[in-house]
Chains A and B, each alone.
Chain A
Amino acid sequence: MIAPAYKLEFFGDGFSLIIALLIGIAFGFFIERGGLGNSRKLAAQFYLKDLTVFKVMFTAIITAMLGIFWLGWLGILDVTLIYINPTYLVPQIVGGFIFGAGFVIGGLCPGTSCVALATGKIDGIFVLGGIFFGIFIFGETYHYFYNFLYSSAAGSITLPQVLGIPWGIMVFTVVMIALLGFIGAERIEERNAIKKQGEK
């Protein structure tokens, strides 16, 4: 086992921060090159005109998922050491809606707002300002929401555990959903493009 390298103590906190910085730069670079620093492109997702976000996100999910599965199987990655974010179902669903609403209104999510800001887009400054304002308000009112935030706790669960199916079957299912989703997304985009031409 050589990964996760940080948890296996191959390097310390300082070096891990350098790696985090490099990953962050690469993440921002590919987001920008994918065109996701443009709020119009992102907002077009919700009007089914441009499904780049869906395709990029789902590609990232299945790439990471297949990578973790196969690196684990090859004995390179110790899967049991990977941190799994605990599930608080109801608060996370509510959080998802708030996040989604902000995404539609601002046209950017936290990652892409940083990319937009770095490429000099003015809306990026406002979205990032809104994020920090929201963080501040949440921090100051945290204790009022405490009971709700920690309600419906389900622990660090994964889909194979909840559904009681083998991990590999879950990987296959998600990849199939993604591939069919990509085909569907392309068709929706083509149809909307034809409509647009027809309108002209």
Chain B
Amino acid sequence: MNKYFRHKRVEKIFGFIALFLALFAALLGDPYPESNLQEDMVRPLEIKGMQVDYITAVDLAKWLMEKEKNFILIDSRIDSEFDNYHIPSAKNRIFFESISENVQPDRTIVLYSDNNESSLEKWLELKQGGYIKVLLLDGGMRSWANEILFPDLSHNPGLNEEEIEKIRKTSLYFGGNPQLGEFYKGKTRKKYFREGC
């Protein structure tokens, strides 16, 4: 009986610790909301009169498909993520470190990371290094994955067949896997096989 109560006491102590930590968590609210992070970085840039320019994933895909050579694409994520997947023709961080030796300041540079916030620092570095036209991939890899590689059109009846076909072709061009659902009636539908877990 005594042992039972001692056991319960330990549970209660842990319960109170959890409650205490949760109460303080509630008071802190959101320690690092993404939007605030971006605002915190963008605001000082705007004060300095620097406007952040973005390129959408769809426009970048178009440039790549049209073999546009007037720009350099740089992936600023860590090496393991770059090795895992990167947008075709993208250069990695090693290239970024020595960019001043290889790229003229008048070249257009497209920069991307996981999201907008994580590439802003590199964007500022390039701007301060004298590069005039530096574009950020709007939404970073997350947008690239959602809009180009794995666009979900299965619940998007607002698009016409031509638009769906265009999105499908773009996705397949980059080795993606569009989710077309019942709205796609094309004959050349790819047969899907398992992708692993």
Q: Does A150 contact B (CB under 8 A)?
A: yes
- Point out the residues of chain A lying under 8 angstroms from B5, CB to CB: none
7 examples of A-B residue contacts, CB within 8 angstroms: A69-B21, A80-B32, A147-B182, A166-B30, A169-B29, A171-B25, A182-B11
Q: Does A198 contact B (CB under 8 A)?
A: no
Shortest distance in angstroms between A148's beta carbon and chain B's nearest beta carbon?
10
Chain B positions within 8 Å of A7 at CB level: 78, 80-81
B32–A66 CB distance below 8 A: no
- Residues of B within 8 Å of A80, CB to CB, are 32, 34, 114-115, 118
Return chain A residues, CB-CB under 8 Å to B80: 6-7, 9
Size class of the A contact interface (CB-based, 8 Å): 35 or more
> Are A142 and B31 in contact, with the CB atoms below 8 A?
no
Chain A residues whose CB sits within 8 angstroms of the CB of B22 once the complex forms: 62, 66, 171-172, 174-176
| Cβ-defined contact, A167 with B31, below 8 A | yes
Task: Tally the A-B contacts, defined by beta carbons under 8 Å.
Answer: 94
The reply to whether A72 and B25 form a contact with Cβ atoms under 8 Å apart is no
Question: Are B154 and A147 closer than 8 Å at their CB atoms?
Answer: yes
In angstroms, Cα B22 to Cα A174, docked, is 9
In the assembled complex, the Cα of A178 lies from the Cα of B23 at a distance in Å of: 14
| Residues of B near any A CB (own CB < 8 A) | 11, 15, 18-19, 21-23, 25-34, 78-81, 114-115, 118, 142, 146, 152, 154-155, 179, 181-182, 191-194
B30 touches A168 (CB 8 A): yes
Binding site for B on A (CB under 8 A): 6-9, 62-63, 66, 69-70, 72-73, 79-80, 139, 142-143, 146-147, 150-153, 155-156, 160, 166-169, 171-172, 174-176, 178-179, 182
The main secondary structure of chain A at its interface with chain B is: helix
Query: Smallest CB-CB separation from B181: which chain A residue?
Result: A147
Cβ B25 vs Cβ A146 within 8 A: no
A168 contacts across to B, CB distance below 8 A: 25-31
The 4 lowest CB-CB distance pairs between A and B, nearest first, are A175-B22, A172-B26, A166-B29, A168-B25
Name B's interface SS.
Answer: helix
Query: Which residues of A are found within 8 Å of B191, using beta-carbon distances?
Result: 143
Q: How far is the CB of B70 from chain A (nearest CB, A)?
A: 32
A139 touches B18 (CB 8 A): no
Other 5 A-B pairs with CB < 8 A, given A153-B179, A155-B146, A167-B25: A70-B25, A142-B193, A147-B154, A171-B25, A182-B11
Structural contact, B30 and A146, CB atoms closer than 8 A: no
Cα distance A171–B26 in the bound complex, in angstroms: 7
B residues in contact with A151, CB < 8 Å: 154-155, 179, 181
Contact B21 A66 (CB under 8 A): yes
A139–chain B nearest beta-carbon distance, Å:
5
